[in-house]
Every structure is written in structure tokens, then in C-alpha cells.
Amino acid sequence: MAIREIITLGHPTLRQKARKVTRFGPELKQLIDDMVETMRVAPGVGLAAPQVNIPERIIVLELPADEEEGLPAELYTYVNPEIVKVSRETEAGEEGCLSIPGYLGEVDRHVEILVRGQDAYGKPQRIKAYDYLARIFQHEIDHLDGVLFIDKADPATIRKLTAEEAATATGEAAEAAALMDRSETPAQQ
């Protein structure tokens, strides 16, 4: 496995619609393994192939462990994912992005979705995702269409993390905080 460079706001690949994957096999599996390692090292909860400058429809995400409930982290990898059903109910939540380091914003997302796609070998798979997992899937699938969280966020809520927030960050804020040192203002891009 190898850690890949995560590209940031301003790179043209982030704004392109990603291509459907048609070739499955060891090379694709290696890319997915690299993406998982890159996501974990960053650290983040999700990563889309365009974020590592590969304009293909591939996402990886990991629901963090729930130590209070004693539940382990859950890893999901999807090739050619698509959201086929959404709940009417939406919920605003704070999001960050490995490609927009150090920034957060409030985004409305569906609280329940049905996603279908394929695994690294082309086998069909689907999942009904709820709450935070649904949010992560929606965020990563947006990347495949060239859409970033700042495009969907309420502009009044987009903000840079403070040093104090970065020091105590968890979840999406931790993802943003981990990358603050390489950030630029989204407006500068």
C-alpha cells in the first residue's frame, strides 16, 4: 500500500465529473487499498478518488469506532456508487473536507439513503445508511460529481477552525484540524 497525495481546492480534478469504472481487478484493488491508507493517515472519515487526482467513481469511508457502545470502526469501499433512494428528512450538520483543509461549514443532508454500487471486483453491493454514515456517503459521492461541501454549505456557516478548536477537535472537525497547516482560504482559490 502507498499513501497518495490529497489534492486541494483549486485543482481542476476536484471539479470534474468522475468516469465510471469499467475495469476491475488487482490494479483497482491496489488503488482502493492506497485510498484507505491515505484516508486513515490524513486522518479522515472518507476519501473519493478525485481527491487523489484519479477521476474515477471510487469512494472509501470509515465510520469511526463507538467506544461507548464498544463498536469497532466500519470500513466501506464502493466503486460506481449511486444514491438510489433518500429520506424526505434532512438534517444540518458540520462538515469538513481533506481537500479544503482547516475549514468547516453546515450542510443539509438526507438522514437516510440507499446506496448501490460495486466492490473492487465488480460484485454488486448496496447499503442503507443512516445519520452520520449517510452524511459521509453523500459527501463522498458529491466529490464524484465535482461538488464540494462548500458548494452546498450555508455560506454564512463556512469558517476556519480556531487553534483552540483544532486542539480539541473530533469527527469532521478533527479531519479539518489535521490539515490546517497546509490550508488556504477557500475564497483564495
Q: Which residues form the catalytic set?
A: 140
Q: Which amino acid is at 10?
A: G
Residue 19 zone, left/alpha/beta (φ > 0; ψ -120 to 50; rest): beta
Main-chain phi, psi angles of 163, to 5 degrees: -60, -40
Spatial separation of the C-alpha atoms in residues 97 and 92, rounded to whole Å: 16
Q: What cell was used for 151?
A: 458548494
